[in-house]
Amino acid sequence: MSKELRVIISGGGTGGHIFPAVSIANAVKALRPDAKILFVGALGRMEMQRVPAAGYEIKGLPICGFDRKNLLKNIKVLYKIWKSQRMAKQIIKDFQPQVAVGVGGYASGPTLNKAAAMGIPCLIQEQNSYAGVTNKLLAKKAKKICVAYEGMERFFPVEKIILTGNPVRQALLDKKISHEEAVKNQGLNPDKKTILLVGGSLGARTINESMLQHLDLIKTSDVQFIWQTGKYYSAEIAERLKGENIPNLKVTDFITDMGEAYKAADLVISRAGASSISEFCLIGKPVILVPSPNVAEDHQTKNALALSTRDAAIYVKDSEAPATLLELAIKTVNDEAKLKSLSENVLKLALPDSAEIIAKEVIKLAEGK
């Protein structure tokens, strides 16, 4: 075995960047228990809490995105980028990594730029079917680019691309519980069809409005619902549901055990983030995707189309969801043939063992192979 392995992993901003980053770190540690891993994130962003909770050290950079509405504010942004570049250089000097990994998000830009300039081999992981700005800029400097979708040579040099899929939360795959048990644990009836609605940890206004505007349809349907409202919207929704008695509706602001919730669901309604889609592929879950229109380069719509054009998911436009989503979901969950077809087709797109495949590439780069 070679000398102690030292790896920097940089990026974050959303769970979609953080979950894969932590999964890659865990896979590196599984292959090389001696590995020292340091994360570099953006101050004030989600990774500064989530990464230490997963057992890893993290350093924060003052980096942030450009303000497209107020151009004068970007003078401050330029200063933060300059400061982040200097800080990243010092972090790399102190830690002495043999390899740097970027998963997308603000922090990965200055960290991988400096690492490449200092002669450290870099690997980037692109979760989406449409490459993000940071990763497109870093591609020239990266030695390897791990992707989750075919056709990524539109954005990256073909000789650097490895089709690995997206690493997902291992706990979802390890869930050993039956559908019936999972439904009972949710306090619901295992003899009824169950629809799970998730809009991310903060929630999704459109998905929530699609429910609120059709409470009568929910009450009269023979379907039951698990509705994660998101913490941001939970108080407002609790107020709007006051006085309503809907026994076939379970409302929660946040689902801790997503593995159990997926097991309970016959059909999921979700945004089209890359990590979520990778999870649906691996567990073979029928899903209706409502892409968020509020993301860079509308990449969630492109993610959803990558599945819906293969009949591996149903795609509903955000603007059309409040009027059509709920009726479509109830119709779909009662159509056994459609559920079976969606499940079979989404399973065909699964790329298992992604974290381990990426970890092996990281170790190879560190060892100069």
pLDDT score of 91? 98
What beta strand segments (E) does 68-202 contain? 99-102, 122-126, 144-147, 161-163, 194-198
Instruction: Please count the other Cβ atoms lying within 10 Å of the Cβ belonging to residue 245.
Output: 7
Question: Do the beta carbons of residue 278 and residue 166 sit within 8 Å?
Answer: yes
Distance between CA 207 and CA 326 in Å, rounded?
A: 9
Residue 74, Cα to own-chain centre: how many angstroms? Answer: 28
pLDDT score of 200? 65
Distance between CA 288 and CA 313 in Å, rounded?
A: 6
Tokens 């970890």 -> residue = 359
Distance between CA 245 and CA 69 in Å, rounded?
A: 44
Instruction: Give the phi and the psi of residue 315 in degrees, each rounded to 5.
Output: -105, 125
Distance between CA 108 and CA 278 in Å, rounded?
A: 22
User: Roughly how many angstroms between the first and final C-alpha of the chain, as a whole number?
Assistant: 14
Give the predicted TM-score (pTM) of the model.
0.84
pLDDT score of 156? 96
- For 22, 301, 325, the CA distances from 202, given in Å and listed in that order, are 20, 19, 20
Considering just the CA atoms, what is the radius of gyration of the chain in Å?
A: 21
Which residues are registered as beta bridge partners of 224? 194
Q: What is the mean pLDDT, run by run of 10 residues, along the chain of 369 residues?
A: 85 84 96 97 93 96 80 85 96 98 92 96 93 89 94 95 90 84 94 91 81 94 94 87 90 90 96 91 95 84 94 96 96 98 96 94 93
CB neighbour list of residue 8: distance below 8 Å, 6 or more residues apart: 37, 38, 39, 40, 91, 92, 95, 97, 99, 100, 101, 111, 115
Axis crossing angle, helix 336-348 with helix 274-283, rounded to the nearest 10: 110
